[in-house]
Structure 1
Amino acid sequence: MSEPTGEYAITTPHHVAETAATHSGPSGLSAYVAADVARQVERDNLSALIQAAEAEHGAVSDKEVQSLRDQLRHARAEQDGRITVIKV
C-alpha cells in the first residue's frame, strides 16, 4: 500500500494467522491482512449503501435481480463474441 501506515496489534486464532501467512506470498502477512480488511470495509460500505437505497426505494425482488443478471450475462456473451445481436 502506498498510503501512510500505522502499527496495530490484533488477536486472531493461531490457525487463522498461520493459514493467512501461507497465503500471503512475497508481500507479507501485513499486506495480506490490510488488503483483506480493505475488502471488508468496501463490503460494509456497500451494505450500508444498499440498506439506504432499499429504505428509500424498497427492496429489489428476486425476479428483478434475476432479470438484471440475465441482461449482464447476455451483454458479456455479446462482448465475448459468443452471440451476435442483429438490430433491426
Structure 2
Amino acid sequence: MPADRIAAVRARVGARGFSAHVSAAVERQLQRGLLEELLVENERQAGPIPRETHDRAARAFRAAEAPADHETGSPAVESGSAVEEDAWRDRRAG
C-alpha cells in the first residue's frame, strides 16, 4: 500500500485502528466483487435489466442517500449520475 494512503488511514483512525479499518475495507471490496459476479450471472440468465427499472432504482437510491447526506453534513454523492451509470454499464458490458 502506498505510504501516503497508510498515513491518511492512520490520520483518520489512529495507529491502533489501522488494521481494523483496512480489514473492513477489504471485506467491503470482496463483497462488491461477489455482488458484481452475482449481477453478471443474473443478467446472463435473465437478460439485461430494463432501462425503466434501472432508472427507477437509481432514483430510489438517490432519494435514500439524500436524508443520510443531510444528517451527516456530507455532500451528496453523485450516485445514479449519468457518468456513474455509464461507467457501471461499461464494466458490465466488458
TM range (shorter): 0.5 to 0.7
Larger proportion of helix? 2
Query: Within the alignment, does 1:36 sit opposite 2:25 as a pair?
Result: yes
For residues 51-86 of structure 1, what are the alpha-carbon distances to aligned partners after superposition, in whole Å with 9 as ceiling and x for unaligned?
Answer: 000000111133211234556789xxxxxxxxxxxx
2:54 corresponds to which of 59, 62, 65: 65
Decide which structure has the larger Cα Rg and report it: 1
Is residue 51 from structure 1 mapped to residue 37 from structure 2 by the alignment?
Answer: no
Deviation by residue 1:13-48 (Cα, 9 ceiling, x = unmatched): 110110011122585100000000000011000000
Normalization by structure 2: what TM-score? Answer: 0.56
Q: Contact 1:20/1:29 (CA < 8 Å) preserved in 2?
A: yes
Q: What is the RMSD of the two structures over their aligned residues, measured on CA atoms?
A: 2.6
- Return the TM-score normalized by structure 1: 0.59
1:13-24 to 2 correspondences below 5 Å? 13-24=2-13
Find the residue that maps to 2:48 and give its secondary structure.
coil
1:50 partner SS:
helix
Stretches of structure 2 lacking an aligned partner (at least 5 in a row) = 64-94
Number of aligned residue pairs: give it. Answer: 64
Taking a change above 3 Å as real, the CA distance of residues 13 and 73 of structure 1, as seen in their structure-2 partners, is: closer
Which ranges of structure 1 fall in alignment gaps of 5 or more residues?
1-11, 75-88
